[in-house]
Structures are given as C-alpha cells and as structure tokens.
C-alpha cells in the first residue's frame, strides 16, 4: 500500500516538474518588452528550478536526500542550467539505479578492532571464595559488609540447602542481615504460594476428572515443595503436610495408577513419622513401575524406622557403590560394611 502511494507521489512529483517547466516556457514566449529576453528567461528558469529541486528531491532514495542543503543546491544548479534535461537524466539514473543496484557497503557499518581477551578481570578473581561463605555468615565477628556480601552470594543457592542457615540469621544482631535473610526466604515462599493460589483457583473451575486429577496432583506437589524447601515450621509445617496429603489423596481418588503420587504420600507419611504407612505407599509406587533405584533410599529409611536393620542393609546394598549420590555414600558405606 505504502509502495503504491510512494510511486504515486513520485509520478505526481515528476508531472509537477514537467508542468512548471512548461509554465517557464510559456513565460519565455511572453517576455515583456524592454527587458533582455535572455536575462528574463534565466531569472524565470532559476526561480522555477527551485521548485523543481524540491520536487525532484522527493523522488530521490532516502540516502541521497541528506544533507538536505547540498542536495537541494546540486539539484537547483542542474535544473537551472539544464532545463528539462536535468529531470530526465535524474529519472533515468534513478531507474537505472533501481534495476542495477550497486553493491556498496552501508555507511552505517564500520570496522571495529578484533575483541581482546581481558585478562585483568580474571586475574582479579579469587577462586574458591564460595566455600567460606557459610563460615563467614555464621561468624558474627566478621565485618558486617563482608557478611552482607556473603549473604547476597548465597541468595542464588537453593533454599533447600540454605533455609536453615537463613532462618537462623533472622535473629542476627545486624539488621541488614536479618532483612536480607527474611527477603530471601519470603521470596522463595511467595513464589510457591502464588502458584498454589492460582492452581487452587483453577481447581474450582476444573470441568472433568482428568483435569481435576492434574490440578490436585500439582497442588500436592506444590505443598510438598514448601516442605521440601524447608520453608514451613512448627504447626504450619504439620498443616502443610496434611494439605499435601489431602490433595494427593484427592488426585489418587480419580486415578490410583500414579506412581509418583504414591511416592509423595510415602514421603509425607515418613515426615509425619508413620513408617508402616509410608512402606505401604512405597510398595504401591514400586508395583506401579516407579524406578526401583530411586525408591531404594526411601525404602531403606522405612526399614530403618521400623527397626528392621537387616532389611535396611539389604536395600542399601542393592544400590551398589557406583549408583549412590555423594550425600548418600556414607550411609551406603556404613550399612554395607
């Protein structure tokens, strides 16, 4: 559409160009007596050329229009000294340029030097600073700026590992430390609470069983996440466990073939100190095809809590040394030696 309009404008501009030239010729023929016809003709042509220069400039491609003054001056000179011809030469060259565009580099691009590797940034870094973070945080004798820096650094770590430390810092003598520790915990909790809130809203509007199952399952997982990330304490902790279990039950009521949900129920029962029930749920998850090696640590814990140590040892032995996670390794070594 805009192309059509610009073509139309160009055609009109050129028509205007020809028209004013025609008026110029008419005025040559009717030059008043007593004036040198050549001088009069030249003056008229110079004035007309000004209008023509403006019209022709409209037709030029954008990058030829600037700088405005010099472009206009050139066009005016051309139109003054080459009446009519100038326009046709310009038109022809524009058409020529459109058909056979030159391969000219854009003047917007310039060469930049090859990037260098700045070694000074790397050389300033002291590696391994992360290992001392916890020690720096706990030690109240360390300067407060140093502790704050350490606290900011651990913000990026998962709350599951830093939760306990952060909670201890809520009682720190330095207020800045307390506030940032609070902010970190609060943000982690809010993220999950927001999801719980929107998911619970969705549950009210769920239409069929499969949707309800999915939402209940998600709610159970989210409540469990609060527990897993170490974000709830005391009475609220127990309440959260109940909530998680309730949603897990609701989800299983519509589809009891969901192995992962049985595992969640098992872990919730473990957290509430009911190993028999937990064992039952874990078995169920196993029957439904949950990977045995991922269940094994939990089954071992169940056996341990029941007091069946031979069974604990057996379960952990099946893990083998290679498969065990680093955190699990000491337990495996202990029980299999």
Partner 1 sequence: MRRAADADVCLLLEGTFPFVRGGVSSWVNEMLRAYPQTRFAIVFIGSREQDYHGAAYKLPDNVVHFETHYLYETGSVDARRPREIEGDAAAFAKSAELHAALRDVRGADVGKLMAEMVPTLGEHGALNEAQFLASRQSWEFIVEQYEKHCTDPSFTDYFWTVRIMHKPLWLLANVAEKLIPAKVYHTISTGYAGFLGALLHYRTGRPLLISEHGIYTKERKIDLLQSQWIRDNRGAFERDISRISYFRELWVRFFEAIGKLAYDAADEIVALYETNRLRQVADGAVAGRTRSIPNGVDVDGLAPLVEQRIAGRHKVVALIGRVVPIKDIKTFIRAMFVASRSMPDIEGWIIGPEEEDPAYALECHALVESLGLAANVKFLGFQRIDDVLPKIDVIALTSISEALPLVVLEGFAAGIPSITTDVGACRQMIEGLDEEDRALGSAGAVVQIANPAAFAQAVVALLNDDARWQAAQQAGLARVRRYYTKAQMTDSYRALYEKLAAAPDVPRGSRSAATGGCPVHHGAPASPHAAQAGETR
* Residue among 186 and 256 whose Cβ is closer to partner 1: 186
Distance CA 139, CA 233 (A): 24
Least Å distance, CB 218 to partner 1, is 15
Among 63, 65, 132, 160, binds partner 1 (CB under 8 A): 132
Distance CA 298, CA 291 (A): 12
**DSSP designation for 140:** T
Distance of CA 310 to the CA centre of its chain: 51
3-state secondary structure of 124: helix
Axis crossing angle, helix 259-271 with helix 275-287, rounded to the nearest 10? 170
Distance of CA 115 to the CA centre of its chain: 26
**Helical (H) or strand (E) element with 3:** helix 2-29
Stretch that binds partner 1, among 17-25, 97-105, 184-192, 265-273 (CB under 8 A): 184-192
Among 98, 124, 273, 307, binds partner 1 (CB under 8 A): 124
Stretch that binds partner 1, among 10-18, 21-29, 77-85, 140-148 (CB under 8 A): 140-148
Instruction: Give the contact letters, 212-251, x = binds to partner 1 (CB under 8 A), - = no.
Output: ---------------------xxxx--x---x--------
Stretch that binds partner 1, among 13-21, 151-159, 292-300, 328-336 (CB under 8 A): 151-159
Stretch that binds partner 1, among 19-27, 78-86, 188-196, 276-284 (CB under 8 A): 188-196
Instruction: Give the contact letters, 62-101, x = binds to partner 1 (CB under 8 A), - = no.
Output: ----------------------------------------
Per CB under 8 A, 135 contacts partner 1: no
Q: Among candidates 310, 231, 239, which has minimal Cα distance to 268?
A: 239
Distance of CA 17 to the CA centre of its chain: 54
Half-sphere exposure of 330 (CA within 13 A, CB side): 1
Among 44, 46, 84, 174, binds partner 1 (CB under 8 A): 174
Measured distance between the N- and C-terminal CA atoms of the chain, rounded to whole angstroms: 83
Sign of CA dihedral 194, 198, 204, 208: negative
* Residue among 69 and 100 whose Cβ is closer to partner 1: 69
Distance CA 158, CA 153 (A): 12
Among 8, 170, 253, 323, binds partner 1 (CB under 8 A): 170
Among 149, 199, 313, 314, binds partner 1 (CB under 8 A): 149
**DSSP designation for 107:** T
Identify whether 67 is preceded by a cis peptide bond (ω within 30 of 0). yes
Stretch that binds partner 1, among 94-102, 121-129, 259-267, 279-287 (CB under 8 A): 121-129
**Which residues bind to partner 1, rule: CB under 8 A?**
118, 121-122, 124-127, 129-130, 132-133, 136, 143-145, 148-153, 155, 170-171, 173-176, 178-180, 182-187, 190, 193-194, 196-197, 200, 233-236, 239, 243
């Amino acid at each position: 559409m805009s192309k059509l309009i610009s073509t139309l404008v160009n055609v009109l501009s050129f028509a205007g160009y020809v028209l004013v030239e025609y008026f110029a010729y008419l005025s040559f023929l009717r030059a008043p007596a007593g004036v040198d016809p050549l001088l009069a003709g030249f003056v008229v042509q110079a004035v007309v050329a000004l209008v023509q220069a403006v019209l022709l400039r409209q037709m030029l491609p954008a990058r030829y229009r600037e700088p405005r003054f010099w472009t206009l001056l050139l066009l005016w000179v051309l139109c003054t000294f080459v009446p009519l011809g100038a326009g046709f030469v310009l038109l022809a060259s524009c058409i020529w340029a459109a058909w056979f565009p030159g391969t000219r580099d854009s003047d917007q691009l310039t060469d930049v030097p090859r990037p260098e590797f700045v070694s000074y940034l790397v050389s300033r870094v002291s590696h391994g600073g992360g290992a001392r973070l916890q020690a720096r945080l706990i030690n109240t004798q360390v300067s407060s700026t140093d502790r704050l820096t350490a606290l900011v650094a651990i913000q990026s770590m998962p709350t599951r590992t830093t939760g306990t430390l952060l909670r201890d810092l809520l009682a720190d003598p330095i207020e800045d430390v307390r506030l940032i520790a609070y902010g970190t915990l609060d943000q982690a909790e809010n993220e999950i609470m927001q999801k719980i809130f929107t998911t619970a809203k969705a549950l009210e509007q769920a239409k069929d069983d499969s949707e309800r199952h999915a939402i209940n399952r998600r709610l159970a997982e989210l409540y469990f996440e609060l527990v897993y990330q170490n974000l709830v304490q005391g009475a609220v902790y127990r309440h959260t466990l109940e909530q998680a279990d309730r949603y897990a039950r609701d989800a299983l009521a519509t589809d009891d073939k969901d192995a992962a949900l049985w595992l969640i129920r098992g872990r919730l029962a473990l957290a509430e100190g009911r190993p028999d029930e937990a064992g039952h749920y874990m078995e169920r998850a196993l029957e439904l095809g949950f990977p045995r090696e991922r269940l094994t640590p939990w089954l071992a814990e169940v056996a341990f809590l029941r007091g069946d140590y031979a069974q604990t040892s057996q379960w952990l032995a099946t893990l083998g040394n290679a498969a065990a996670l680093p955190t699990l390794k000491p337990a495996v070594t202990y029980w299999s030696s």
